[in-house]
Structures are given as C-alpha cells and as structure tokens.
Amino acid sequence: MALLQIAEPDQSSEPHAQDKKRAFGIDLGTTHSLIATMRGSVPETLSDVHGEVLLPSVVHYSQDKVIVGQLAKEAAVKDPLNTMISVKRFMGRNVGDIVHDATNNSESNVEFPYEFYAREDGLVSMNTAAGPKTAIEVSADILSALAERGCHALGGEPEGVVITVPAYFDDAQRQATKDAARIAGLKVLRLLNEPTAAAVAYGLDQHEDGVIAIYDLGGGTFDVSLLRLSKGVFEVLATGGDSALGGDDFDYVIMQWLCGQLAISEQLSPSEERQLLNLSCELKEALSVNETYSVEYQQQRISLSRAQLNELIAPLIKVTIRACKRVLRDAGVDRTDVDHLVMVGGSTRSLYVREKIAEFFGQEPLVNIDPDKVVAIGAAVQADVLVGNKPDSDMLLLDVLPLSLGLETVGGLVEKVIHRNTTIPIVKAQEFTTFKDGQTAMSIHVLQGEREMVADCRSLARFELRGIPSMVAGAAHIRVTFQVDADGLLSVFAKEKSTGVEASIVVKPSYGLDDKSITEMITASFENAQSDVALRALREQQVEAERVIESLESALLDNGKALLNNEEYQGLVDAIDQLKVVSRQESTDAIRQQIASISVLSEAFAERRMDASIHTALAGYSLNELDQLV
C-alpha cells in the first residue's frame, strides 16, 4: 500500500517542513510594497485579510494612531499633509536634494505638499499630527505592516529578511533602508538590487550563460541594469536610472492635461491635487487594457485615448531609453548582445512602454510574471537561500559600485582606490606615505566621484591616524584598506605598518546622492576628462615642486654654507626662487624643466652631504671596530 503525505491548507507538503526556517523577501516600493516567502519550493506573495497582495506605500498619521496601506491612501484626499506618500524618494536625502529636484529636475513633475525641515543629523523630517517623521521612520511603519502580514501567514517570526533596493541606491540610501528595518524589528540578511531579484524570479540563473537587461519602471523610481550570468554567477555589469522618475510622473503629466481640459488655472489645494492624481492613475491603469476611458470630476466627464496617453508619456520614456544607452556604453555591450529583456514595475504594464523598449532592444520582453510581484518573489528565493534552507545552492549574486571611491592626496588630488562599476563585495588596499619630515599624524579624507580634484568630488568622511613614528618624508608606510560589503556599505581602515597603530571609520553619511546627481557626476567626468588629466598633471608637478623646495631649503639651512662656496650657495637659492615663481604658473612643462635644472645644480651638494653624513657616522671607530660592524 502506498503512503500519502497529507498537509494542512497553506502548509508545505515537503518532508520535514517543520524544520524549515522562516524567511521573507520584501519589495519596499515607492508606491506599493509586497512581502513574499517560499511555500515549499514555490515562491508566493502574501496577501492581507482582504486578499490584497499590494500594500500601498502610504502612511497616515493622526494624534492617536498610525494607518498604513489602502485606508491611508484614501485619507490622503482629505488630509494630504499628514499622509506620507512616495517617501522612498526621500530615503538618504537632505532638504537641499529635495529642493534641487523640485527646481532643477525638468524630467520629474512630482511635487509634495509636506513641510520639510533638516534635523541636526542632516536627515529630512516632515511635520505630521503625530510629530516630525523621517523617511526612515515612515518606511519602518510600512515594513512593520508587511512583517505583521508575513508572521500571520507563517505563524511566527522570521529568521531574517531580504529587502530589495534600486540598483542605483548609494551607501546612504542603503543604510537608511537597513535602519528602517532595524526600527521595524527585522533582521536584514541582505539588501538585494531590484534588477537582480527580478532575474532570480524568472529563474534566469538556470539558463545558459548570457547578458540580461532589467528594465524596472516603478511608481517612483526607474532603474536599468545589465547582468551577466556565467556558470550560475550573476554579475552586474552596469547600472543606471533615476530615483525621481516613475509612474508618479506619468500621473502628474496626465493630471496637468486634465487641468487643461477642465480649464483649471489657479493653484490646486493639496486635497484637489490628490483627487485629480487618483483620477489620473485610474486613467493610466484603464488605458492599459482599453483604447479609451472616461473619468468624472465636478460633474464634468473627460475622455482620454490610449494614443493621447502615449503622446503625453513619450518624453518620459525617451529619458529611460537614454539611460539604457548609457548603461550599454558603460558595460561595453551592444544592444544586440542582450539575450534576455525583463520588464519590472507596475508602469511597464503600459503597452506603449513595452513597445518602445522592445523596439530599442530588438526583442520581446519577458512579462509572464506580474511586474508588481517579480521583485518580491526574487527576494524570497534569495532569502530562503541565505537563511539556510538551501545550503547547497550555488547561486551567487554580485553587484557593482555606482561611483569610484578614493582618498585626498597632497595638492587636492583624488587617488581612486576602488573604481566605478567594480563588483562588490570587495576589499582593496593601497599604501600611502607622509609628505613632511617628522609627520606623526595623517588626515584621511574619503571621497566619492570620477573627477581628479577633491573640489569636484563628494566628501564621504574624514578621520585621523595618529601615532606615526617621526621619520623623514616618504619613509612611513600607511596601508589604507577600503571594504565594501554586499549591501554596498563602506568601511575604511588605516594602519601604519611598523608600529601597528590604526584607525578606521564606517561611512554612514546622513544623506546621499540621487541617481540624477550620480549620472551628472559620471557625465562630467567624461566631458572634462582631457582638462582633468591636464590639471592633475599640473598639480602633481606643483606638489613635486613644493617637495623639492622644502627639502632643499631644509638642507641649505642645515649645512649649506659649510659645504658650498658662496657662488654655489647663491646659485641654489636663486634656482629655488625661480622654481617658486614657475610653480605658480600653469605650465606643467616649465615646472618639470625647472625641477630638472635644480636636480643638476644640487647633485654636487647632495654628494657632499652624503660624504659628510658617512664621515660623522663613522667618526670615533677604529678599523677593528669597523670590521666588526661590517
């Protein structure tokens, strides 16, 4: 007689399922968030008591309670100032970034009614009826609601979670996400790039080796990533995108069109704006399956056709295609080399979006998994691996740094230690030395960017290494190590090799760069490449001139008059003065020639100083004693 294994509804039928560790995958989205887990060997998104899988990323605050999700979204119409929407755009950002976006980002049309102010730590706060709230705290409330849903479905607390983030999130934005999870009481196993999660969800790790393009157009952010699959290893070749571009912007474009049709010219109140935005979203969603659709506002009925919608959103789609071109160029990949094209994000339901992106890449995209669920599903698969349920899994996920990391060196120059698009996690070290005689401390300035000068890069952190032995310039060996973990977070360590003294810092800035700023920094590095190289060469020669001047003046002061006649002494003094004049000029060749001239003039002086040093060192020793020394 055959034995059948019986399981309760919603429970795994796998043997020893009770031994499986609970783990969740969370897609913390701009407009909607989801939570998923593995049911046996099948990933599944978890719904609330009403059967809804998507949780609107909206939080409403009143004096006595916090509401998350659909009810909060409905409250936004009547009380928009106390209803936090699309806060993912503010993660790891400061007030200046938000103001900059509002005034300078021509691509984004989104405006927010909130009253922003900067806390002492640089974080952005928004005033609510429940007091000031940061994007981290709002995100923590969303994560708490998702975790409650997951715990109810699985009957217990998880061992850990994987949370997805846009591929272009920098270290500050990633850290803000981890902080939100910590406040929500969740153990983060890993932050996973959303495009990588999508590839995992489609099981592309089981396919033949090849290049995968992930086009992710969500409610508030846009990402495009190129991944290479090689023997089960996912490597992110390049990433790009815009954290201030998404379906929200589509809604605002439609809302502006509605205002024109309704002859609304005066400033909308926050409540009126929210009503029109809801109608705009309804139009956008309906036109993904209908040729025309109508909505009613204040007893006026307005119709919009799919063709009209396509015309409205076309400029925004062009922006995303430009980002695709940049990513292909960064990766050194032709669009014809892409083997798979994956569409992610609710905004990719638009047939026009799919059509234009398929046209650009020359192939039909993968769309058979719900684009709203695909990222959470991939996160759940990875969480199941990391929590230990599949220890034999050979799937490896590798991401990349969006910008180079380095240190400030003498002359205001940047020495890059880890270059942009380097695969992480990574540990890389480089040795530096002292510039002045007797230097016992070193100030270490950590920078991010692609330009050659400190002034053109972003400062991440500063710390000091003290206790360096007093030595002549250039004798000390300071090893500086950069460590970037799998979540893209940076730690910097400095150690003087002879004494073992060390110092370190974990870079957790209070705010980060948005995708537009990162793109601008990369573009500026290309545009200014030739002038930057020339400027770096000039500064290096000026630094070398400073070193020559300082060391030669010190030597002349020490024993110049004892070892040189008046003519030789004055000749070196005049040459030093001439080098000082030349070094202030912007001529690399002139400085180099003057340094070479001084080198020739000082050769005899250097030889006499060496002889004098040897004579002093050996003075007072007999020949027998010298033999013993040798």
The pLDDT of residue 584 is above 70: yes
Q: What whole-number distance in Å separates Cα of residue 323 and Cα of residue 261?
A: 32
500 phi-psi bin (left φ>0, alpha ψ -120 to 50, beta other): left
The catalytically annotated residue of 101, 137, 179, 194 is 194
Q: Which strands make up the sheet holding 458-466, listed edge to edge?
A: 413-418, 405-409, 441-448, 458-466
Residue 524: which pLDDT band, with cuts at 50, 70 and 90? low
The pLDDT of residue 294 is above 60: yes
Residue 396: partners with Cβ closer than 8 Å, 6 or more residues away: 232, 233, 234
Q: Which one has a higher pLDDT value, 402 or 513?
A: 402
Work out the average pLDDT over 602-611: 75
Task: Using a cut of 0.85, tell me whether the model's pTM lies above it.
Answer: no
pLDDT value at residue 513: 47
Residue 1: which pLDDT band, with cuts at 50, 70 and 90? very low
| % pLDDT > 70, the chain | 83
Query: Which token pair is 58?
Result: 């909206």
The pLDDT of residue 86 is above 80: yes
- Considering only 12-21, 198-207, 553-562, which range has the smallest mean pLDDT? 12-21
Model pLDDT for residues 494-507, shown as the tens digit of each residue:
888 878 888 887 77
Work out the average pLDDT over 597-607: 76
| % pLDDT > 90, the chain | 19
The catalytically annotated residue of 216, 399, 456, 515 is 216
456 is catalytic: no
Q: Which one has a higher pLDDT value, 528 or 277?
A: 277
Work out the average pLDDT over 563-573: 80
Model pLDDT for residues 139-191, shown as the tens digit of each residue:
999 999 999 999 988 888 888 999 998 877 777 788 889 889 989 999 998 88
179 is catalytic: no
The pLDDT of residue 509 is above 50: no
Work out the average pLDDT over 88-92: 82
pLDDT value at residue 89: 79
Residue 398: which pLDDT band, with cuts at 50, 70 and 90? low
Model pLDDT for residues 402-418, shown as the tens digit of each residue:
778 888 887 788 888 88
384 is catalytic: no
Q: Which residue bears the tokens 């002879």?
A: 498
Task: Please name which of 504, 488, 517, 456 lies closest in space to residue 172, comparing C-alpha atoms.
Answer: 488
Model pLDDT for residues 249-282, shown as the tens digit of each residue:
888 899 999 998 988 877 888 788 888 888 998 8
pLDDT value at residue 397: 58
Residue 624: which pLDDT band, with cuts at 50, 70 and 90? low
Mean pLDDT of the chain: 80
DSSP three-state, residue 418: strand
DSSP three-state, residue 86: coil
The pLDDT of residue 361 is above 50: yes
The pLDDT of residue 10 is above 70: no
Q: What whole-number distance in Å separates Cα of residue 461 and Cα of residue 159?
A: 33
Residue 353: partners with Cβ closer than 8 Å, 6 or more residues away: 217, 313, 317, 343, 347
Q: What whole-number distance in Å separates Cα of residue 496 and Cα of residue 32?
A: 49
Domains and CATH numbers, the chain: 19-246+312-399 (3.30.420.40), 401-524 (2.60.34.10), 530-618 (1.20.1270.10)
Residue 78: which pLDDT band, with cuts at 50, 70 and 90? confident
Residue 360: which pLDDT band, with cuts at 50, 70 and 90? very high
- The alpha carbon dihedral of 506, 405, 117, 57 has a sign of negative
Residue 292: which pLDDT band, with cuts at 50, 70 and 90? very high
The catalytically annotated residue of 88, 178, 284, 516 is 88
Model pLDDT for residues 430-448, shown as the tens digit of each residue:
888 877 777 888 888 888 8
Q: What whole-number distance in Å separates Cα of residue 494 and Cα of residue 105?
A: 39
216 is catalytic: yes
Q: Which one has a higher pLDDT value, 519 or 209?
A: 209
Provide the CB-side half-sphere exposure for 126 (13 A, CA). 24
CA 305 to chain CA centroid, nearest Å: 38
Work out the average pLDDT over 26-49: 90
| CB-CB neighbours of 220 under 10 Å | 26
Work out the average pLDDT over 472-485: 82
pLDDT value at residue 305: 92
Residue 11: which pLDDT band, with cuts at 50, 70 and 90? very low
425 prior amide bond cis, ω within 30: yes
CA distances (Å), origin 467, targets 117, 431, 436, 471, 473: 41, 17, 15, 12, 15
Provide the CB-side half-sphere exposure for 613 (13 A, CA). 8
The pLDDT of residue 242 is above 80: no
Q: Which one has a higher pLDDT value, 37 or 1?
A: 37
pLDDT value at residue 320: 92
* Most confident of the following: 294-308, 381-395, 554-568: 294-308
